[in-house]
Chain A
Amino acid sequence: MPSIDYLAILPALVLLGASVLTLMLSALLRHSLSARVATSLSVLAGLVVLATSVAQWVDVARHGASSTIDHAVVLDGFSVVATGVIGVSLVMASLIAHDWLVRGPVSASHFYTLSLAASAGALVMVQANDLVVIFLGLEILSIGLYVLAALDRHRSASAEAALKYFLLGGFASAIFIYGAALVYGATGTTNLSAIGYFLAGNVLLAPGLLVAGGALLLVGFAFKVAAVPFHLWSPDVYEGAPTPVTGFMASVVKVGAFAALLRVLVSALSSQLTTWRPIIWVLVALSTLVGASMALVQRNVKRMLAYSSINHAGFILLGVWAGTVRGSAGALFYLMTYAPVVLASFGVLALVGGARDDSHDIDRFRGLARRQPVLGAALAVLLLSQLGVPLTTGFYAKYGVLLAAVDAGGGPIALIALIGAAIAAYFYLRWVLALYAEEPIETDRVSVGRASGLAIALGVVATLLFGLWPGPLAALAQHATLLFHP
């Protein structure tokens, strides 16, 4: 038996434990688990994960990065911070989901059993140091999400979204694992560190296999993070899935997938930088431009945010493209700041979407800020943050990855990405404009539940606070990346 560092895997264990506990409580209690209890449990689990990640951080800061369970799991600054982000995202996603669960057709225990387990999958990905483990984490996460996407029985779009998500997600997984097989064939191992050592110590005369494998791995990841041209599923799925689930997708999935992608590229394939950079270059250019342009023509705000998140994925990929410490730190910082913002945005959407979660036309937002100034202003701040206006974290997120890209000699691609951001400005601003429009559409007042309100407030406060003073987060991301497991 390999030695096991339980501190390293504690977060995943906590989430899985919470998931199973929810399941068991719902099975063993006479009355179905109330949403309040289930949400509290999930929030608690998220907080414990966050606390654990702090403990891990102390450990890593003191003893340096390490790997455990026969090098399948790493405990390094990067994984710790990403773990913390997932913990925070989970807390916020639970809060957002709460109001929807209270009024919706979905049983809270089902929702949380699945979402907690899926988050555990994301944690597995974040810490994985082996292609097979990444694959399994990816599947835990994805399978949970397929079901979560199908949960809303009131709308048939929900199950259809799940089917589309499932088919293309499965396709992506198959491509990913095929890539892993080819990389295994080229290097003789599936362990990322071992691949890295092997490639550092050996020169492949004809690295065709490795190139093909690496490319397929990238394609698999590109599907998962919805980078153009592998994004076709995401608008439909974002639209069809229940709004809290969409928020979950936009945050937790992105964190997990990007963390794993970074680890694969930095830890295993860093010697192949010249090979994978052009691929990422294309992905960045297409994602930022197409994501922004397609968002312009949407009327459904969830589709709009889907394309917007494609645009953001392009930016995060920019940090990946750099392939430097600065790039990884930039991408990590982006994830840290983007997750709360996008979750809070979907929190507002879930509220405005109505009891049946099916009214997501942009017209519903007309005059919202006039009727409910606080809610409207909150959404405006969140949108401006996504747009990348200074004094919000969105600006520094873009700044971090752009800095890395320019540092790595990527002036042109940075410029392309920024032009994508400028295009994106159109639809964020159009939306903000609608919020403050003078002739409000006759709609009911949006009731803001306490939980959702808290989540939205968290997102807004986080983006403004760290927008004003990004120092701590930036330093954290920087240190985290410096403590990267080799």
Chain B
Amino acid sequence: MIGVSYSIGAVLVFVTAALLILVGAVGVLAVRNPVHAAMSLIMTLFGVAVAFVAQSADFLAAVQVIVYAGAIVVLFLFVIMFLGVDRREGVRVEPLVGQRALAGLGVGLTVAGLIVLLARSHWVSGAMSVSTNGAPLATGSGNVAQLGTAVFTTYLYAFEATAALLVIAVVGAIVLARRERALDEEAA
């Protein structure tokens, strides 16, 4: 790797993305207020979107912002505000002594191991998948066409399965959020 120079721009983009992602992620963990955590989450999500753009996944970057920032985090914020859990949400007493250290150790070791494995394995660059039949990955609008083709051929079944997934999620959410008066009276 040493001796190869990367364009300043690419490095800069990487650093920006990495900063956004990591600062945001640490923010989610460290911040006490859930609204602030949600905002940190948005930061990470944007960082990921930047990283997507840098890796010529423009379409996904846009979808990332629309789905995550535009819907998921809004939903989070909605629930936080709706339930009014925003201000008093601190870190609670740990139920098991040393759980945090243990989790940290476990996760740390796993991630370190992963990084070592990532670094030490040379993946098969150029292994062509069935889907593109060896055609190189396009950028820009060609990319959308490729994505669309893949979704409706190789991943057709998966795509149809998402329909089931969304139906069950919507029905589930409504069943859960539904409030039945008879029951509330009983609870009260």
Tell me whether A and B are bound partners. yes
Interface-side segment among A49-57, A134-142, A473-481: A134-142
Bound-state Cα–Cα, A410 to B144, Å: 51
B130 contact set on A, CB distance < 8 A: 70-71, 189, 191, 194
Select which of B120, B128, B171 is within 8 A of A114 by beta carbon: B171
Bound-state Cα–Cα, A224 to B12, Å: 41
The answer to whether A153 has its CB under 8 Å from any CB of chain B is yes
Select which of B117, B156, B168, B176 is within 8 A of A118 by beta carbon: B168
Bound-state Cα–Cα, A185 to B126, Å: 11
The answer to whether B75 has its CB under 8 Å from any CB of chain A is no
Bound-state Cα–Cα, A130 to B160, Å: 14
Tell me the chain B residues, 165-186 only, with Cβ under 8 Å from chain A: 165, 167-169, 171-173, 175-176, 180, 183
Is A143 within 8 A of B172, CB to CB? yes
The answer to whether B141 has its CB under 8 Å from any CB of chain A is no
Interface of B is mostly: helix
What are the interface flags for A152-191 relative to B under an 8 Å C-beta threshold, 1 for contact and 0 otherwise?
0110000000000000000000000000000001111101
The answer to whether A28 has its CB under 8 Å from any CB of chain B is no
Interface of A is mostly: helix
Is A210 within 8 A of B172, CB to CB? no
A185 contact set on B, CB distance < 8 A: 123
B120 contact set on A, CB distance < 8 A: 206, 208
Is A69 within 8 A of B156, CB to CB? yes
Bound-state Cα–Cα, A139 to B167, Å: 12
B159: nearest chain-A partner, CB-CB: A136
B76 contact set on A, CB distance < 8 A: none
A-B pairs under 8 A by CB, number: 128
Select which of B121, B165, B167 is within 8 A of A207 by beta carbon: B121
Is B127 within 8 A of A212, CB to CB? no
The answer to whether B135 has its CB under 8 Å from any CB of chain A is no
What are the interface flags for A197-232 relative to B under an 8 Å C-beta threshold, 1 for contact and 0 otherwise?
010001011111111100000000000000000000
The answer to whether B122 has its CB under 8 Å from any CB of chain A is yes
Is B129 within 8 A of A72, CB to CB? no
The answer to whether B78 has its CB under 8 Å from any CB of chain A is no
Given A72-B155, A105-B183, A150:B176 Cβ within 8 A: yes
Bound-state Cα–Cα, A377 to B96, Å: 42
A19 contact set on B, CB distance < 8 A: 167-168
Q: Which residues of B contact A (CB under 8 A)?
A: 113-114, 116-118, 120-124, 127-130, 152-158, 161-162, 164-165, 167-169, 171-173, 175-176, 180, 183
Show 30 residue pairs from A and B whose CB-CB distance is below 8 angstroms, ordered by the A residue.
A2-B153, A2-B154, A4-B156, A16-B167, A70-B156, A71-B130, A73-B157, A114-B172, A114-B175, A121-B164, A124-B164, A136-B161, A137-B161, A139-B165, A140-B161, A143-B165, A143-B172, A144-B168, A144-B172, A147-B172, A150-B176, A151-B175, A153-B180, A188-B127, A191-B130, A198-B124, A208-B116, A211-B117, A212-B117, A212-B118
